[in-house]
Structure 1
Amino acid sequence: MAAPVVSLQAHCKLLLHAAKYPHAPVNGVLLAEDNKNKESKVVKYVDSIPLFHISLGLSPMLEMALLQIDAYCKSKGLVIGGYYQANENYNDNELNHVAKTIGRKIQENFHDACVLMIDNRRVRAESVSQAYRIFTLKESGWKEADKKSTSEDDISKEECLYTLLKSGSQRQLRDFDNHLDDVGNDWRNLELNDIIGRCT
């Protein structure tokens, strides 16, 4: 399988989620274009939806969030196609049980699902390059995907994220924990999507 393409919006939102809660683990899902009826088999992640920063593995909350996100995906022609996570320990960017379990659950419904593990040490304005590793599920378990060389697209993502972090845009991001506290907090982050869109 070719390495997935992560859009600017998906890239920035998952890293802003980690930047907003540097003291906590965070996770979320990646929304992919539904390529079932398309010739291209390259997975393109067009958005990311931040889930939690308090407790990552609470099944009832996770199931409720995934049901809402799935309904949203169906209205947009998207699928839940991946998962991202940043661990609580600053120096820990390894796949753990939670990441493997949720990643496998997503993979049951989307064969080419990936797991992105965020490197907390690189989530700051001064150093935003190669801020996560991508894992795919092989027969023997989750394996890191081959690294590709840095492209112009990667550089523009880094520049945009640098600008967003410098301006404190991470404070505007809302995850499902925020939504459960106050339903007025929109987990779709439409305003933040607009800010990221103006970055290009």
Structure 2
Amino acid sequence: MADTSVSLQAHCKVLLHAAKYPHSAVNGVLLAEDSKNKDTKSHRCVDCIPLFHVSLGLSPMLEVALLQIDAYCKSKGLVIAGYYQANENYNDNEMNHVARTIGRKIQENFHDACVLMIDNRKVAAETVSQAYKIYTFKETGWGTIEKKGNTEEEILKEECVYALMKSGAQRQLKDFDNHLNDVRNDWRNLELNDMIARCT
């Protein structure tokens, strides 16, 4: 089993997506660098693409989104390596059927795929510590892995998300639902990526 880590950029965008739509379930995919070396002992989710906040399980929209994201990944040397979700119910942070199904589909194409389940209670500027659980697929099903807390990188992530939420950066985030409403809404979120880069 490979070690899984999440970059600052992916971390911030996952939580900003949940913060933008606190009344809704949200989801998206995590991207990692495409490693042809199958023996790699770790992989890092370097970015995320926010998908939906209206209806997470709509297959036709999901297929359209994944086709576009897959083409984008091929052009950038990336692969879809994981999935994230925040449930609609404020107190619910467990994997449901949608998370398991999409996570398993991704895992079929990327062996060490992960699923991040966001804890809605911690998606606020003041409480961004340990805001999600990371699951990986083992023989018996999905199981959580230990996240390393209080490392220098984790502290930087918390500080960056805090600063971004305080500035209202979540309003800048565009997901696929936004893109389907108006194609000028860029789901790559390049401007937001620049804002996150300035945190470091």
Q: Deviations over 1:3-41 (max 9, x none)?
A: 311000000000000000000000000001112237643
Q: How far apart, in 2, do the equivalents of 1:38 and 1:150 lie?
A: 30
Q: Deviations over 1:99-155 (max 9, x none)?
A: 000000000000000000000000101000000000011111111112333211000
Partner residue in 2 for 1:52? 52
Q: CA deviation at 1:71?
A: 0.3
Matches within 5 A, 1:144-159: 144-159=144-159
Counterpart position of 1:66? 66
TM-score (norm 2): 0.97
Match of 1:174, as an amino acid? K
Measure the CA separation in 1 of the matches of 2:34 and 2:100: 23
Against the structure 1 CA distance between its residues 77 and 40, is the aligned structure 2 distance closer, same or farther, given a 3 Å change threshold? same
Is contact 1:95–1:117 with CA below 8 Å preserved after alignment? Answer: yes
Q: Which runs of 5+ in 1 are unaligned?
A: none
Structure 2, unpaired ranges of 5+: none
CA distance in 1, matches of 2:125, 2:109: 35
Is 2:94 the counterpart of 1:99?
no
- Tell me the equivalent position of 1:168: 168
Task: Specify the alignment match of 2:41 in structure 1.
Answer: 41
The TM-score, its normalising length taken from structure 1, stands at: 0.97
1:116 equivalent in structure 2: 116
Matched residue SS, 1:73: helix
Partner of 2:199: 199
| Residue identity opposite 2:118 in structure 1 | I
Contact map agreement 1:49 1:175 (CA 8 A) in 2: yes
Offset of residue 73 of structure 1: 0.3
C-alpha contact (below 8 Å) 2:2/2:112 kept by paired residues: no
In 1, the alpha carbon distance for the partners of 2:118 and 2:89 equals: 11
- 1:130 is paired with a residue whose SS is coil
